[in-house]
Structure 1
Amino acid sequence: MYPNVVQMARLEAWTRLHCELHNAALEERIDAWRKAKRSISYFDQQSVLPQIKADRPEFNELGSHALQQTLRKLDLAFAAFFRRVKAGQTPGFPGFKSSKRFSGFAHPDPAGWKLMQHGGSGATLRIGSGETAMSIRARGRHRFGGEAKPNDITLTRRNGQWFVSVTLRVPDATCARQRTADMRRGVDFGINDWARFDQGPLIANPRWVRDELPHLAVLQRQRARKRKGSLRHRRLGQRVARLHDRIGNLCRDFVHKETTTMVQQCAVVATEQLTPKTMSRSARGKGEAPGWRVWQKAGLNREILSAGFGMAHRMLAYKAEEAGTRLHLSHTRQLKPSQRCAACWELAPKTLAQRVHVCPHCGHTAPRDQNSAMVVLIDAHNTQDTPGTGVAARPKPLPRQRGKSRSVTRETPATTPCV
């Protein structure tokens, strides 16, 4: 969005009021339990909103549904907290928020706002009603045509800019993506090459973070020399935040384009399950058991996170469903794609430094990542009629089977051997 000075000031004021409501509701829940061992529900707090608006007239222009959504988000935070407690995970109790760190607010239904498209990417968001309504210029468009109906919006403040996220109600037929080919591809995501296929050209890793590290280091050194809390310190902090935001946008755009190309060309996409959170775990260790090669592992963690593997898997999941493509995720620990030979299906242990697969059993030689892509593609063929994801539905990998793959997607492609 592109609000002017007056509109930005009103959006900031509305965000402060939503933050005040969030903190007041959180304090009420804490005090009720601390003093009377009583749990306050969302419905208890929602029923008090009319009285709050009577005592505080400035809340009236925010809209009842937007205020209810702020309370509903707090209730969902408590529900997630209790769920993590029962599961034995790190709970993370909902905390108070400052107005500067409160991201924004939402309208959960079409009431109180209207989005008008002007052709191309131009748009206007009208929010509020009556004399308090604002018309804010915006930019953006979707690919669903006139059948899409706006459902709700979320206004977010990030790095001094305002963004609006619009959820649309779209028919299933409109969501469908058209495929241009029916290939079956095995994909191995990595750092040296972002994606290596079982055959064909690879996709290079753009390394957005590595390219911007010198610029980031200059800004951080300048910021470290400024007095904390000063105007220059704050401005340099904003420049650092904008640079991180730019890197994230470049990475997200790259992953969107590549995953879209994959599902448009493939009837079957096979890859392995990756857990970037576990892969990028710190090697620092503890006082009595210090880590080893901590700085090298920190650099590897940065490269793993900047590649966006988790983002790619999430995008492939919903885009494959829209295109009628079968997405197969092999269980990494059971299948061991990087250690298994695609020719004889035997394990051939290798260190991480060994980038070429040489099988000691059959003599098969191939680039390590390409061999892994071939292994997950064979596993997808072997388990196409097995429920579950990959080899997670059986105790050990099935023996390699040669033959023609039968498609289980929307379209039935021509018979093509899966080798």
Structure 2
Amino acid sequence: MLKAFKYRLYPTQAQAERMDWTLARCCELYNAALEERRTAYRKRGVTVSYHAQAVSLPEVKEGRPEYKDVHSQVLQDTLRRLDKAFAAFFRRVKRGEKPGYPRFKSARRFDSFCYPQYKGTIGGHVYLPKIGNVRVKLHRPLEGAVKTLTVKREVDEWYAVIVCEVETRPQGPTGSEVGIDLGLNHFLITSDGEFVDAPRYFRKAQKKLRRAQRSLARKKRGGNRGNRRAKQRERVAKLHRKVKRQRLDFHHKTARKLVRKHDSIAHEALNVKGLGRTRLAKSVYDAGWSTFLAILASKAEEAEKRVVAVDPKYTSQTCPDCGRVAKKLLSERWHSCECGCELQRDVAAARVILGRTFPSGANAAVNAYVA
């Protein structure tokens, strides 16, 4: 399997300037390639492929000699990134979804460049072609064979994201199967009756963020105060970065605990985008369910455990004992059924999720009813 390792880079001032310059050239190339595709299709009805643009890179370097100072594979990967954006656009068109045509990138939003076939050495320093040996903090050992290396800028910090091909590390069986119900009051509830509170990192940081963003809005663009605006924008970005890191840390630790305790994990196949268009949008995105489920699936794959998504329809309305469906208001937090089943509503939903996936983990009545 492929696994990503992220390490902090500590470039010199000259190296940081060089990496910023490389990002600017890649952003410029991305936008120029996008404009070429748009113009060719609009004026002549011709689709320009990745191959056609990659073949023309030597001509670009002749016309713009500064591009000779950017590694060729970095330029190729920039064009490949645009090609993937178009592939995703056409895929959404075929599915009847909102397509979202690829857009031009601003310099502030183009934050990474990639060496897709990295062959350098990684120790106390990592060698970046056309940039030099950059000091790196290897806070944990690198595993497997290196496939790609991406240099990423996060506000005022630089990171190396190294993707390696590693062997799975199977963990001993625990004989346990569990269903989890994701929520907002509690981040998740297991079919065993375990509750994990939602940390609500964004809600907790909202007061600081509000003040920082209002201060940013008061500072005008350009002029003598342009530098003050840039500094305030960086403060806002750092606050958002802190929230993101806190949430990721919580997701990783929670997912690791579940994978260690259980052999099989069942969860709802949630439509997070749909929920993000409701009045609960802020809380839904603060929970970060999609990211958590992706992390959970990755850790389970590494440990050779099983994660299954089930249809969420009526999971909170169905009785886990008899399978009877009884509609409840969202405010009703207790499940009470005519068969005598009395449970906290979310625990009941988690048991229904478990029963839909693993018949051995719940009463057969639920599975018979759903079938």
Same fold by TM (over 0.5)?
yes
Larger radius of gyration: 1
* Correspondent of 1:313 among 293, 310, 326: 293
TM-score by length of 1: 0.79
Q: Percent identity?
A: 34
* Correspondent of 1:301 among 281, 286, 289: 281
Q: Does 1:215 align with 2:192?
A: no
Which residue identity is paired with 2:127? Answer: R
Q: Hey, what does 1:3 align to over in structure 2?
A: 11
Distance in 1, Cα, partners of 2:360 & 2:310: 10
Cα pair 1:179 1:266 within 8 Å, conserved: no
Cα pair 1:227 1:233 within 8 Å, conserved: yes
Q: Following TM superposition, by how much is the alpha carbon of 1:141 offset from its aligned partner in structure 2, in angstroms?
A: 4.6
Q: Hey, what does 2:4 align to over in structure 1?
A: none
Q: Hey, what does 1:135 align to over in structure 2?
A: 133
Q: Hey, what does 1:290 align to over in structure 2?
A: none
Q: Hey, what does 2:368 align to over in structure 1?
A: 399
RMSD: 2.3
Indicate the SS of the match to 1:337. coil
Question: Residues 5-404 of structure 1 correspond to what in structure 2 (within 5 A)?
Answer: 5-111=13-119, 114-117=120-123, 123-128=124-129, 132-142=130-140, 145=143, 148-170=144-166, 172=167, 175-179=168-172, 181-229=174-222, 230-282=226-278, 297=279, 300-333=280-313, 336-359=314-337, 361-382=338-359, 398-399=367-368
Q: Hey, what does 2:5 align to over in structure 1?
A: none
Distance in 2, Cα, partners of 1:39 & 1:201: 54
Q: Following TM superposition, by how much is the alpha carbon of 1:21 offset from its aligned partner in structure 2, in angstroms?
A: 1.7
Which residue identity is paired with 1:240? Answer: V
Cα pair 1:179 1:265 within 8 Å, conserved: no
Aligned residues: 356
Distance in 2, Cα, partners of 1:240 & 1:28: 35
Distance in 1, Cα, partners of 2:213 & 2:107: 25
Cα pair 1:275 1:310 within 8 Å, conserved: no
Cα pair 2:321 2:366 within 8 Å, conserved: no
Q: Following TM superposition, by how much is the alpha carbon of 1:340 offset from its aligned partner in structure 2, in angstroms?
A: 0.8
Q: Following TM superposition, by how much is the alpha carbon of 1:203 offset from its aligned partner in structure 2, in angstroms?
A: 1.3
Cα pair 1:18 1:105 within 8 Å, conserved: yes
Cα pair 1:378 1:400 within 8 Å, conserved: no
